[in-house]
């Protein structure tokens, strides 16, 4: 980007600068000049055009909305479409969650994102739901609960994010849309779906993960059938570099698995989305999103041979990290999450969920979830950073980090690609476990600073005490009411339709057809998720519970 003459002059000036700081640093003793990011990328004290001499603006950065999309996936960014404010909700029964959702929409939330739906493969009356129902997410037994969950919410106006990939729940959402006479092709949403090897591997015809992709690519053109949930792996303690590389690997593996079913790359890739974290190391985080966007575009176009430009776009939702939120001095987390959110927006996120300050203590209250919305609104309306696309693009430092992250993430990806999928997934798990442990050790021995935990510690009474924060309480009544509700549904549903639906679903499982359409019909008879799982179990034998929310995906 600079001509030789200018670079030679800068080189000369740099030598003078180095003499200057040598003198200053001597005064400060043996201060280490070299620092690194948490990913181990070396950081210099200053970056200059000399660091990015090889960067070709049109080839490596490009205008927003133009390949390789380093500056963003759309030509106009937040100027024409604000990011989606999408706080995660999931509390109690469908009634409590519906109420919370409506409150958040009134406060300016623009996306629906609900956790807990269909995580548990049994009915609410099961012993397993004791003390559990409704605390880690909303409980759904049947279509009646989905009707309640969406009551008063315009399904056509919002984009719907299903956390987890429960197929009965997905079918219930579509059944509810049909009941409202909404054309499925108009629905916008995302399902946290991603192919994993083993168990029901991609070659297995009864693999629901690929059924979802296949069904959506034919019927739901605006639905992200895949959401590469690398954020939760990042939250186990891996680096930004690994977050990029693991995400790329998971994305490619999912696409290749769908292609093995007979779908074309351009049928699948346009609706693959990513779910990323936003961590502490600010500059590296901004570079991370840029690097990943660029390398994904290059991989899809050059390696996978995708022709449709939409297949080259890495669109992503960010949920800010929970790993660095502390139970000590909990209001500090407001500051942390704000900085994480800034990185996500400077990195061009399409959608954002800001973790609440009380998450190390309990699930968020209405008030703390509202603060997370306000954080996003303040960034959008008050700071002005959303007015410019990729405002940190062109920074000598950020461009250098972007290059380094791309290059090193590709090395990790190459390594993963040389392993069998089973081995690659095990490797990622092992890396995540080890990283989590090393991170904790670094905090314990003070190498890694966590304010309020290992530095600037205060006694409870002198800080804002955790005790004074009003927390969300668990209501044992949620379970009682949910059990009563399911009993009522079972009393009122048409037993003939129930029997027919059960038979039809079992037959569909046995014949290994794509399960989504039969499932939509089955849930309309108000079968419970517990009943559906039972039918599936009878056809397939033992049930691999890990498919309902394994450790790896942290669902």
Half-sphere exposure of 90 (CA within 13 A, CB side): 22
Name residues contacting another protein, limited to 471-500 (CB under 8 A).
471, 473-474, 476
* Angle at alpha carbon of residue 488, lines to 486 and 492, rounded to 5°: 120
237 binds another protein per the rule CB under 8 A: yes
Per CB under 8 A, the list member of 173, 175, 325, 349 interacting with another protein is 325
Q: Which stretch binds another protein (CB under 8 A): 34-42, 62-70, 233-241, 405-413?
A: 233-241
442 binds another protein per the rule CB under 8 A: no
Q: Is the dihedral of CA 274, 277, 283, 288 positive or negative?
A: negative
Cα(502)–Cα(91) distance, rounded to whole angstroms? Answer: 30
132 binds another protein per the rule CB under 8 A: yes
Looking at the Cβ atoms of 182 and 466, the one nearer to another protein is 466
Least distance between another protein and beta carbon 90 (Å): 10
Q: Which stretch binds another protein (CB under 8 A): 169-177, 415-423, 448-456, 499-507?
A: 448-456
Looking at the Cβ atoms of 466 and 504, the one nearer to another protein is 466
162 binds another protein per the rule CB under 8 A: no
440 binds another protein per the rule CB under 8 A: yes
Per CB under 8 A, the list member of 142, 166, 232, 277 interacting with another protein is 232
Cα(479)–Cα(263) distance, rounded to whole angstroms? Answer: 43
Looking at the Cβ atoms of 131 and 541, the one nearer to another protein is 131
SS3 539: helix
Residue ranges with strand state E in 252-347: 272-278, 315-320
DSSP H or E segment with residue 36: strand 35-36
Q: Which stretch binds another protein (CB under 8 A): 251-259, 417-425, 444-452, 528-536?
A: 444-452
Binding string, residues 193-212; x marks residues near another protein by CB under 8 A = --------------------
Looking at the Cβ atoms of 130 and 378, the one nearer to another protein is 130
Q: How many Cβ atoms from other residues are within 10 Å of residue 93's Cβ? A: 24
Least distance between another protein and beta carbon 293 (Å): 27
Q: Is the peptide bond before 68 cis (omega within 30 degrees of 0)?
A: yes
Question: Would you list the DSSP string of 103-149?
Answer: HHHHTT--EEEE--TT-SSS-TTSGGGTTTTTTSS----SHHHHHHH
* Angle at alpha carbon of residue 190, lines to 184 and 191, rounded to 5°: 105
Least distance between another protein and beta carbon 130 (Å): 7
Structure tokens at 204: 């297995």
Query: How big is the site for another protein, counted in residues (CB under 8 A)?
Result: 47
Q: Which stretch binds another protein (CB under 8 A): 181-189, 353-361, 382-390, 525-533?
A: 353-361
Contact present, 343 and 286 (Cβ < 8 Å): yes
Least distance between another protein and beta carbon 173 (Å): 22
φ, ψ of residue 485 in degrees (nearest 5): -65, -45
Q: Which residues bind another protein (CB under 8 A)?
A: 127-128, 130-132, 135-137, 232, 235-237, 323, 325-328, 359-362, 432-433, 436-437, 440-441, 443-444, 450, 452-453, 466-467, 471, 473-474, 476, 545-546, 548-551, 553-555
């Amino acid at each position: 980007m600079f001509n030789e003459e200018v670079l030679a002059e800068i080189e000369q000036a740099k030598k003078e600068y180095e003499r200057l700081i040598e003198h200053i640093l001597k005064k400060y003793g043996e201060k280490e000049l070299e620092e690194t990011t948490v990913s181990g990328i070396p950081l210099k004290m200053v970056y200059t055009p000399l660091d990015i001499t090889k960067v070709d603006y049109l080839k490596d950065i490009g205008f927003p909305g133009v390949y390789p999309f380093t500056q963003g996936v759309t030509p106009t960014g937040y100027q024409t479409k604000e990011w989606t404010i999408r706080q995660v909700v999931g509390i109690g029964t469908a009634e409590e969650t519906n109420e919370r959702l409506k409150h958040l929409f009134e406060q300016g939330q623009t996306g629906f994102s609900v956790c807990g739906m269909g995580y548990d493969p049994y009915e609410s009356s099961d012993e397993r739901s004791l003390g559990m129902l409704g605390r880690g997410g909303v409980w759904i037994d049947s279509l009646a609960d989905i009707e309640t969950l969406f009551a008063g919410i315009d399904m056509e106006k919002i984009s719907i994010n299903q956390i987890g990939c429960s197929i009965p729940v997905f079918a219930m959402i579509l059944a509810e849309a049909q009941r409202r006479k909404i054309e499925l092709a108009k629905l916008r949403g995302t399902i946290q779906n991603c192919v994993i090897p083993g168990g029901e591997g991609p070659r297995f015809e009864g693999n629901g993960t690929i059924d979802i992709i296949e069904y959506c690519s034919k019927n739901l053109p605006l639905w992200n059938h895949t959401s590469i949930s690398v954020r939760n792996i990042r939250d186990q303690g891996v680096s930004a570099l690994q977050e990029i590389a693991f995400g790329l690997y998971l994305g490619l593996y999912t696409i290749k698995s769908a292609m093995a079913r007979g779908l074309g790359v351009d049928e699948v890739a346009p609706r693959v989305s990513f779910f990323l974290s936003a961590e502490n190391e600010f500059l590296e985080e901004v570079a991370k999103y840029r690097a990943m966007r660029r390398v994904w575009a290059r991989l899809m176009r050059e390696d996978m041979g995708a022709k449709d430009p939409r297949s080259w776009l890495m669109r992503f939702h960010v949920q800010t990290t929970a790993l660095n939120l502390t139970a000590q001095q909990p209001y500090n987390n407001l500051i942390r999450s704000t900085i994480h959110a800034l990185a996500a927006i400077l990195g061009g996120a399409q959608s954002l969920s800001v973790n609440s300050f009380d998450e190390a203590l309990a699930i968020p209250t209405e008030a703390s979830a509202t603060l997370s919305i306000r954080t996003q609104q303040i960034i959008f309306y008050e700071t002005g950073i959303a007015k410019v696309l990729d405002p940190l693009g062109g920074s000598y430092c950020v461009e250098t980090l972007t290059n380094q992250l791309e290059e090193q993430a590709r090395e990790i990806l190459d390594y993963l690609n040389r392993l069998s999928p089973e081995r690659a997934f095990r490797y990622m798990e092992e890396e995540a476990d080890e990283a989590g442990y090393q991170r904790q050790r670094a905090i314990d021995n003070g190498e890694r600073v966590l304010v309020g935990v290992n530095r600037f510690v205060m006694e409870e009474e002198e800080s804002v005490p955790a005790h004074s924060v009003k927390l969300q309480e668990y209501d044992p009544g949620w379970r009682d009411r949910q059990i009563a509700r399911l009993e009522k549904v079972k009393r009122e549903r048409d037993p003939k339709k129930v029997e027919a639906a059960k038979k039809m679903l079992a037959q569909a499982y046995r014949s290994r057809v794509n399960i989504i359409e039969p499932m939509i019909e089955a849930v309309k008879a108000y079968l419970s998720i517990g009943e559906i799982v039972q039918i599936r179990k009878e056809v397939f034998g033992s049930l691999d519970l890990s498919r309902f929310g394994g450790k790896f995906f942290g669902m």
